Structure 1
Amino acid sequence: MSAEILQRLSTLTLSVNHLSRLPRLSGLVSSSLPSPRPTVLASQVPALFQEPYILSGYRPIRQDWRCYLLSLFQRHNESLNVWTHLLAAPVLLLRWWANAGAVGYTLDAASLPLSLFMVSALTYLSLSVAAHLLQSHSERAHYFFFFMDYVGVAVYQYGCSLSHYFYTSEPAWRDSVGLVFLPGAAFFGWLSCAGCCFAKSRYERPYPLQRKICQLIPTSLAYVLDISPVVHHLLISSWAQEAFHALQIASFLFAAFFFSCPIPECFFPGRCDIVGQGHQVFHLFLSLCTLFQLEALFQDYARRRDTVVEVFGERQLWWACMSFPALFVCCVLTALVTMRLTNGKLLQKHKKLL
């Protein structure tokens, strides 16, 4: 009996010794996980990462990639730029689910443009989140992720164009602009991507006015064309019945203003480093624009889904929608070519420093 007791005591002692080592093991596990370093001042990061009038809240470069992923939960000057678009995606999905159930949505030729609009919206939101979350890793990462961000913007522009053309446009507008609308929208979508990539690669801080021109002119031309069927529709319809279309235009104009002007941080340098930057306000209005657009397009789809195939023909619907992945591929190739040229430029720059 005593031998059995001694054996049990021995087993218990071994178990206690084993448990006593667990904190040390957990400490080793936790220490193996990278932790984002504290944020630094603008003077402590290269000029490429510095934003006008934003004096602090920068993440140090060349940390482990996981540090930038974990910085999603860190307080820095890109936090709201990430979260505004990160939270917009599930809101859009919830509104899609609610609207789809309300109108009896089914995936077919008539609903394909609406589906591609949703894909384009989620694409630009996802690529924007990736750009603002990961760009601080290095100069190459900064350029690559923002080039892909421009791809997302171009894809979103064309997704809007497809939906506006098939669900919102009126016969009188199509008789005058319809033949060139989708080819023009695809071209200007690609041009906005190419213009933004070129401007990002070509000009260094402090950015000259030419950089903003290269970005804004192609993007503005694309928007003017993309929104033209909506404007025409509003001019001949009751604005009270088309409130979501009016709200999406108003939201976009506010977004464009805050994208173009560093307001309010230019009046309060250093006080908008974490909250209140113009780019954060731009993200907020752009997310609202997309949400209002989704609501408006579901209303248009509900009114016209029974006639859209009859009016446009199933073949035209399929061919038009096939141009969507084609534009995406063209924009990605443009971004990759520009990235290759930028890599050469960065290599030469580093050689000069050595």
Structure 2
Amino acid sequence: MGAGAPGRGASPPRPLGFPSPSAPGPWPSLRGGPSYRGAPSLDGGGREEPRGGARLGGPRAGAPWEAGPCPGGPPLPSPRDAPEAEERGAPREGRRGGGARPGRSRREVAAAQLLPRFASAPGDQAGARAGARAAAGAASAGVGALRAPPEGPAAGSLLSAPTMATAVAQKLSRFFPSVRQLGQMPRLLGELASPLPDSTVGRAEVPRLFWKPYIYSGYRPLHRTWRFYFLSLFQKHNEAVNVWTHLVAALVLLLRLACFAGTVDFMGDPHARPLFLIVLASITYLLFSALAHLLQAKSEFWHYSFFFLDYVGVAVYQFGSALAHFYYAIEPAWHAQVAAIFLPAAAFLAWLSCAGSCYTKYRQLPGLMGRVCQEMPSGLAYALDISPVVHRIYVAQVLGQEDPAVLYHKCQVAFFLLAAAFFSACSPERWFPGKCHIFGQGHQLFHVFLVLCTLAQLKAVALDYEARRSIYEGLHRHAPHDFSAFFLLTVVCSVLTALFLSHRVRRELSCKED
């Protein structure tokens, strides 16, 4: 009776892929008898027993390139993923007997061996299906490579070049968002902006240091992670508008600086350095202010430290404004009066403004004493800084000059006066106590008008830089002072003052805890 055809006394047919006992291969010995090389006996405690019979010629039975089926191996691909073999090899005769060995086609074996390489990522069903199709194609194209063991540098690898390219593409695709992921972005942003549980608390749940006049809610709890406070940028609380007004303005000025870099030679033109410094100073105070309002709720120490940093930014901006006005906007008559003292006095008053604000915050000076220590140095610094602009506006008015830069200078003065009024008055929240915890605070309006002042100022300075070169080149040909040195001196003195007071705050808080 033909091999593989069950007859009288023959065992029932075995399913496809299950080995015949007569077929050579590393199958375990179930009854402790002789087994093939490398096949442990199941009743002998895992011992290897010697192979019975002489070794036949040709490749060793069960070698990997023979692609024989193995129990417990990878499952066969489904018909949808790996198509049926077009040709099946003739049944090979066993070496010990004359029976046929049922088995899978070589193309199916290759697909089964290559499939796990593509489906290595857990849960990657799409990758598994694509890998099955690529594996079946690779096996169809290179089935001859399975007849003998591979040689050379590619030994031990069954992936052909197209299959390897597919695998690399599958790996790289994980680093880029898919269309489905991009479609989920609005939902994720909405969840990020939605209020978190306990993201804000009432005024009674935070120390008195954090209280704002007439604001009774919208405070962020203390001692959370830094991630919590950075993510509060997208939450509703009583500092959110203060953060966004200066953060957006800083981004606008960064774009403005990029535009200047395309038209102004900051490196080669020595008269362009004051323009660069005023833009840099403006970005500095805006970013320091945004950081202070965003992160000050971390703890009492960080509340002091970040507002000290805010006052450093204000001092830098004050000197930058004084320098730009002195260099570009000043009239020759006023320059002759103040040239010897203007920059040293501007640097000193900028530092004094920073020191007064930091000391007021450190001592928590109430009422009139606090306003004197904080607002008087700032007022003196602004009076000196704006004096070239005021003189310029007066001369243009008397002479009837039509100068577009003068209009922007007028706007910057008006916006600053409005900002100062809202900063000092704590209005309109005093008229609506408990109603302005998100919008409508006087400090928010102070931020808005200060940003408008800065934008108008930079526009006026840019126009003066372009239109008044013949004037300021003659005035500053032999400058009595190095303005870059005074700018650096202002920054260093202000930073040292803030660091000194931060150290004092840390020491006092440590003593309080002990």
Q: What corresponds to 1:23 in structure 2?
A: none
Q: How does 1:236-247 map to 2 (within 5 A)?
A: 236-238=395-397, 241=403, 242-247=406-411
Instruction: Out of 79-88 and 240-249, give the one that drifted further.
Output: 240-249
> Is the partner of 2:77 in helix, strand or coil?
helix
Structure 1 position 304 matched with structure 2 position 468: yes
Instruction: Out of 339-348 and 282-291, give the one that drifted further.
Output: 339-348
CA contact (8 A) 2:332 2:475 kept: no
CA contact (8 A) 1:111 1:305 kept: no
Give how far 1:37 is off: 4.1
What RMSD, in angstroms, separates the aligned Cα atoms of the two structures? 2.6
Structure 1 position 347 matched with structure 2 position 510: yes
Aligned residue identity for 1:335: A
> Is the partner of 2:475 in helix, strand or coil?
helix
Q: Deviation per CA, 1:282-333, whole angstroms, max 9, x where unpaired?
A: 000000000000000011111223553432126657x112221221011000
> Is the partner of 2:265 in helix, strand or coil?
coil
CA contact (8 A) 2:330 2:388 kept: yes
Structure 1 position 73 matched with structure 2 position 251: no
CA contact (8 A) 1:201 1:342 kept: yes
The one of 279, 282, 285 equivalent to 2:449 is 285
Pick closer, same or farther for the CA change 1:65–1:176 going to 2, 3 Å.
Answer: same
CA contact (8 A) 1:36 1:68 kept: no
Percent sequence identity over aligned pairs: 47
Give how far 1:65 is off: 0.6
Pick closer, same or farther for the CA change 1:289–1:276 going to 2, 3 Å.
Answer: same
Q: Aligned equivalents of 1:119 and 1:93: distance in 2? A: 9
Unpaired runs of at least 5, structure 1: 21-29
Give how far 1:56 is off: 0.5
Q: Which of the two has higher C-alpha Rg?
A: 2
Aligned residue identity for 1:126: L
CA contact (8 A) 1:109 1:309 kept: no
The one of 235, 245, 252 equivalent to 2:394 is 235
Q: Aligned equivalents of 2:340 and 2:361: distance in 1? A: 33
Q: What corresponds to 1:139 in structure 2?
A: 300
Following TM superposition, the consecutive aligned residue runs of length 4 or more in structure 1 with deviations greater than 4 angstroms are 9-12, 14-17, 96-101, 314-317
Structure 1 position 215 matched with structure 2 position 374: yes
- The structure with the greater share of residues assigned to helix is 1
Q: Aligned equivalents of 2:295 and 2:16: distance in 1? A: 64
Q: What corresponds to 2:311 in structure 1?
A: 150
Give how far 1:245 is off: 0.2
Structure 1 position 127 matched with structure 2 position 231: no
Q: Deviation per CA, 1:110-143, whole angstroms, max 9, x where unpaired?
A: 0000100001000000100110000000000000
Q: What corresponds to 1:176 in structure 2?
A: 337
The one of 178, 189, 195 equivalent to 2:356 is 195
Structure 2 length normalisation: TM-score? 0.61
The one of 7, 12, 18 equivalent to 2:122 is 18
Give how far 1:177 is off: 1.9
CA contact (8 A) 2:340 2:480 kept: no
> Is the partner of 2:123 in helix, strand or coil?
helix
Aligned residue identity for 2:487: F
> Is the partner of 1:179 in helix, strand or coil?
coil
Q: Deviation per CA, 1:192-225, whole angstroms, max 9, x where unpaired?
A: 0000010000126xx3321122110000000000
Aligned residue identity for 1:210: M
Give how far 1:344 is off: 2.2
Q: How does 1:255-270 map to 2 (within 5 A)?
A: 255-270=419-434
**Which structure would you say has the larger RCO, counting Cα contacts within 8 Å and 6 or more residues apart?**
1
Q: What corresponds to 2:413 in structure 1?
A: 249
> Is the partner of 1:6 in helix, strand or coil?
coil
Instruction: Out of 298-307 and 147-156, give the one that drifted further.
Output: 298-307
CA contact (8 A) 2:200 2:218 kept: yes
Q: Aligned residues, how many?
A: 334
Pick closer, same or farther for the CA change 1:262–1:240 going to 2, 3 Å.
Answer: farther
Aligned residue identity for 1:166: Y
Structure 1 position 322 matched with structure 2 position 485: yes
Unpaired runs of at least 5, structure 2: 1-14, 18-68, 79-111, 125-187
Give how far 1:158 is off: 0.1
